[in-house]
């Protein structure tokens, strides 16, 4: 078990290092430098600067150093969670991220249970209902959820629940009421994907011999579904959930724009538009770290849920 754990941790660190390196390379092979970009955004150009002014600017962002020095310096600083100065916003990247991460975290923490409850609930219902037309309808519903673009769902919800019914505010971040619509929007896609997967796994698991055995032993449909089918079918769903959670920042870009929430997603969007290299780097690393941590947890949960994985981990 400790070896299994150590292996997973080493993998996680390798992924993070790779993420940092890839982002660094991509952002540095781009044929422009942040100073020119910053100046051209304001309609000025580099020729208007005196050499001293240019030197001060370059020095400020460490652009005078050789590329390898920049790479290792950045890596060392990133290990200390120091991502330097934002190029566009005149403050440190760290402070920008600590400012915004709360809003996105709050949104994710509300959206996640909605996603799980919605996904499992729908799949459960679809597999439990016996009447064929209702069963077919329920089984097809997730496809609709998956195909609707998030921004469109968000706008529909705003139109209905803010502008027509006045139940929830359309924008802003004042209290739980402003969290409802964005969280629902954010959870919908994940819930639909989860339901799609579970409906399929439920159907497959029901056909397994051990289910027939369980039924033959006299267990009720409900008990079999809960104890045997759900547990078996939940394994792939857990993997999917890990991936969906990893997409938090990606989803937040859309949802936070539609609902004007000031979180990591909006920050990411602005950073990319403004070519704010250190900020993009930090956000990508945070997203990668989130991905890695969640998937590490999923791997560990596997050993609890699936005796086969646990056995392999013990043996390995």
Partner 1 sequence: MSTSYRHRTRRRLAAVAVSVLAAVSLAACGSGGGSGSDAAGSGGSQGDKPVPGGRLKIAFWNDLQGCIDPNQVYWIESRSLDRNIADSLTDQDPKTGKIVPWLATSWTVNPQATEFTFKLRTDATFSDGTKVDAAAVKTALDGTRDLGPRSILGVTYLAGYTSTTVVDPSTVKVDFTKPNAGFLQATSTTTLAILSPATYKETPEARCAGKVVGSGEFTLDSYTAAKSAKLTRRAGYAWPSSLVANKGEAYLEGIDVSYIAEDSVRVGSLTNGTIDIAWPRQPISEADQQVLKASGASIETRALPGIAGLLLPNVTGGRPLADLSVRKAVQKALDLPSYAKTLFWDDYPAAKSPLTSSTPYFTDESAKLAHDPTGAAKLLDGAGWALGSDGYRHKADKKLTLTYLTPSPSPGDQLVQDQLKKVGIDLQIKVVTQAQYTPLATAGEYDLVSSYLTRADPSVLGSAIDQAATKQYSAKYSQDAATAARVSALFATGQSTVDPEKRGAAYQELQDYLIDNAVTYPLYDRLQTAGVSKKVNGFAFTSEAFLRANDIWLDR
Binding-site ranges for partner 1 (CB under 8 A): 30-32, 36-37, 39-45, 47-49, 53, 56-57, 88-91, 136, 151, 155, 158-159, 162-163, 166, 169-172, 257-260, 262, 266, 270, 273-275
Question: With respect to partner 1, which residue has the nearer C-beta, 164 or 220?
Answer: 164
The residue count for the chain:
316
Question: With respect to partner 1, which residue has the nearer C-beta, 30 or 117?
Answer: 30
Question: With respect to partner 1, which residue has the nearer C-beta, 72 or 152?
Answer: 152
**Shortest distance, CB of residue 44 to partner 1, whole angstroms?**
5
Question: With respect to partner 1, which residue has the nearer C-beta, 9 or 44?
Answer: 44
**Shortest distance, CB of residue 41 to partner 1, whole angstroms?**
8
Question: With respect to partner 1, which residue has the nearer C-beta, 120 or 280?
Answer: 280
């Amino acid at each position: 078990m400790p070896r299994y754990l150590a292996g997973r941790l080493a993998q996680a660190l390798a992924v993070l290092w790779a993420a940092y390196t890839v982002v660094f390379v991509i952002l540095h092979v781009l044929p422009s430098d942040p100073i020119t970009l910053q100046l051209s955004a304001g309609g000025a150009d580099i020729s208007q600067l005196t050499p001293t002014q240019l030197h001060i600017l370059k020095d400020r962002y460490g652009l005078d150093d050789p590329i390898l020095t920049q790479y290792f310096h950045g890596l060392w600083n990133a290990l200390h969670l120091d991502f330097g100065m934002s190029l566009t916003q005149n403050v440190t990247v760290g402070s920008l991220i600590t400012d915004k991460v709360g809003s996105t975290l709050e949104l994710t923490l509300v959206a996640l249970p909605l996603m799980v409850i919605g996904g499992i609930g729908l799949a459960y219902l679809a597999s439990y209902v016996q009447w064929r037309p209702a069963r077919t309808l329920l089984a097809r519903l997730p496809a609709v959820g998956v195909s609707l673009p998030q921004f469109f769902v968000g706008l529909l919800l705003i139109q209905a629940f803010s502008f027509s019914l006045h139940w929830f505010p359309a924008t802003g971040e004042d209290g739980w009421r402003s969290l409802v619509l964005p969280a629902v929007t954010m959870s919908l896609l994940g819930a639909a994907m989860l339901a799609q997967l579970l409906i399929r796994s439920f159907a497959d698991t029901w056909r397994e011999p051990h289910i027939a055995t369980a039924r033959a032993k006299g267990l009720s449909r409900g008990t079999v579904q809960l104890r045997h089918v759900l547990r078996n079918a939940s394994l792939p769903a857990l993997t999917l959930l890990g991936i969906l959670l990893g997409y938090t920042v990606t989803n937040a870009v859309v949802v936070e724009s539609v609902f004007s929430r000031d979180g990591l997603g909006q920050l990411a969007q602005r950073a990319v538009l403004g070519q704010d290299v250190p900020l993009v780097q930090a956000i990508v690393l945070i997203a990668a770290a989130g991905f890695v941590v969640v998937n590490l947890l999923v791997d560990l949960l596997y050993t609890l849920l699936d005796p086969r994985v646990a056995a392999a981990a013990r043996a390995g």
